[in-house]
Structure 1
Amino acid sequence: MQIIEVTGFAVRSAVITMRSSGTPLEFVLFPMLHVAAPTFYAQVRLRLRTCDLVVMEGIRGRSAAASTLTLAYRFAPRRSRNGLQEQSDELLLPDGIPVVHADVSAAEAIADLKALSRWTYPLMLLAAPVMGLVFALRGPRAFLDEDLAVDDLPTTLRAELLADDPVAHAMTDRRDRRLLDALDEIHAKHNAKHNAEHRTEPLRVAVVYGAGHIPAIVTGLRERHGYRPRDAEWLTVCVPG
């Protein structure tokens, strides 16, 4: 199943609805890119208005190191000719819908990176600003890099190599576990409530997380509770110029 599609015409993100038999609860997965055209975030916000609960990505707390690492994508929107915008809660979250933040703290995220081999973490800090400048200069053309493409299953050699990448594991493993534990709690709590009240109307829970986390979410919901993708809708992230 394709999650992020990269072609010469556009970059698209698949909004995936997962359902399981015997429960009115459904999870709607929004694979996000942290920099995109403003229209992408407007489309996501519009669809979040139809949801009852939003589970939102966002590392808690402040960290100078975390701020440095995010320079890899924060430079591009500052160049107005790129026509790109940085993701923010203000852009995405509609008023009146409850939000759950299930992410790790900045200290936990940095600790996982520091546990990598001796030179990996310092090199990441040095490389992030350089990558940010390259992204800013290339603008939307940077999205043509096929490494942005994300599949649910590692069917390509590139995906198989990424699955064994210690940096990727350090950046996602703890966060994926924390998120899936939160989704477990939502599943148990809301199903118990609906069963007690004999209610059958759907409850839509949006999961708004970076596209790289979506394969683990799909696998976790399927293996733990039998949720499977039932519907999908493509949203255009940007059109490279």
Structure 2
Amino acid sequence: MQIIEVTGYAVRSAVITMRRTGTPLEFVIFPMLHVASPTFYSQVRLRLRDCDLIVLEGIRGRAAGVSALTLAYRFAPRRRRNGLQEQRDDLLLPEGVPVINPDVTAAEAIADLKTLPRWMYVLLMVAAPVMGLVFALRGPRAFLDEDLAVEDLPSTLRAELMADDPVEHAMTDRRDRRLLDALARIDAEHGMEPIRVAVVYGAGHVPAIVSGLWDRHGYRPREAEWLTVLIPA
């Protein structure tokens, strides 16, 4: 299943609806990029209005290390000619829809990163602002990189690909566990209710979300809708 599609002229994100036979609850997964065209965020906001609950990504609290990492995507929107927007809650969240945030704290995120070898941790802190400058200078075309493409690989293959990537583990493992635990609670408490639960998380988390809902709770992808993230000029 393609989650983020990168072609020579555009980047698209697949909004995935997952259902389980015999129960009415739906999970609607919105794979996000933290920098995109304003139109993408307005399209997501429009669809979130039809949901009954939003499960939202967002590291809670502040830490210097987290701020350094986010420079990678905070620089690009500052050049108006790029036509890009940083993801913000006020652009994304409609009024009246309840929101929960099961994400980690900034202190927990940094503690996980500090389990990496020291040289690797320092390299991450240094590389993030450099990458942000590259994105800002290149503009939207910096995002037309097939490395951004995300697929929901079979769990065994995904495990093999991640096995030798300590940075991936440090940045996502605890956060994915927290999210899947929250989704499990929602399923246990509301599984028999005809509600739509939006899961608004970065695209890199979506393979774990899809496989977790499938393997643990029997939800299957039933529909997908492509939204255009950006089209470079």
Whole-angstrom CA distance in 1 between matches of 2:122 and 2:154: 29
Spell out, residue by residue over 1:8-34, the C-alpha distance to the aligned partner (whole angstroms, 9 max, x if none).
121000000000011110100000000
* Count of paired positions: 232
Counterpart residue identity of residue 6, structure 1: V
Q: Which moved more, 1:112-121 or 1:175-184?
A: 112-121
Q: Tell me the equivalent position of 2:150.
A: 150
Q: Helix, strand or coil for the counterpart of 2:104? A: coil
Unaligned stretches of 5+ residues in structure 1: none
Q: Tell me the equivalent position of 1:203.
A: 195
Spell out, residue by residue over 1:87-137, the C-alpha distance to the aligned partner (whole angstroms, 9 max, x if none).
011010000000010100000111111100121111111111111000100
Whole-angstrom CA distance in 2 between matches of 1:214 and 1:62: 24
Q: Tell me the equivalent position of 1:28.
A: 28
Identity %: 79
Q: Tell me the equivalent position of 1:234.
A: 226
Instruction: Please tell me whether the aligned partners of residues 154 and 160 of structure 1 are also in contact (alpha carbons under 8 angstroms).
Output: no
Q: Tell me the equivalent position of 1:78.
A: 78
Whole-angstrom CA distance in 2 between matches of 1:34 and 1:47: 18
TM-score by length of 2: 0.96
Deviation at 1:165, TM superposition (A): 1.1
Whole-angstrom CA distance in 2 between matches of 1:58 and 1:162: 23
User: Alpha carbons of 1:159 and 1:132: their partners in 2 closer, same or farther (altered >3 Å)?
Assistant: farther
Deviation at 1:154, TM superposition (A): 5.9
Unaligned stretches of 5+ residues in structure 2: none
Q: Helix, strand or coil for the counterpart of 1:51? A: coil
TM-score by length of 1: 0.93
Instruction: Please tell me whether the aligned partners of residues 116 and 167 of structure 2 are also in contact (alpha carbons under 8 angstroms).
Output: yes
Counterpart residue identity of residue 13, structure 1: S
Q: Helix, strand or coil for the counterpart of 1:207? A: strand
Whole-angstrom CA distance in 2 between matches of 1:230 and 1:158: 22
Whole-angstrom CA distance in 1 between matches of 2:16 and 2:135: 28
Whole-angstrom CA distance in 2 between matches of 1:71 and 1:171: 16
- For residue 213 of structure 1, the aligned residue among 194, 205, 215 is 205
- For residue 217 of structure 2, the aligned residue among 219, 225, 237 is 225
Spell out, residue by residue over 1:184-241, the C-alpha distance to the aligned partner (whole angstroms, 9 max, x if none).
00000113xx4xxxx6xx2100000000000000000001110000000000000023
Whole-angstrom CA distance in 1 between matches of 2:125 and 2:85: 23
Instruction: Please tell me whether the aligned partners of residues 69 and 125 of structure 1 are also in contact (alpha carbons under 8 angstroms).
Output: yes
Q: Tell me the equivalent position of 2:138.
A: 138
Counterpart residue identity of residue 22, structure 2: G
Deviation at 1:160, TM superposition (A): 5.7
Deviation at 1:45, TM superposition (A): 0.1
Q: How does 1:61-210 map to 2 (within 5 A)?
A: 61-153=61-153, 161-162=161-162, 164-191=164-191, 194=192, 202-210=194-202
User: Alpha carbons of 1:51 and 1:170: their partners in 2 closer, same or farther (altered >3 Å)?
Assistant: same
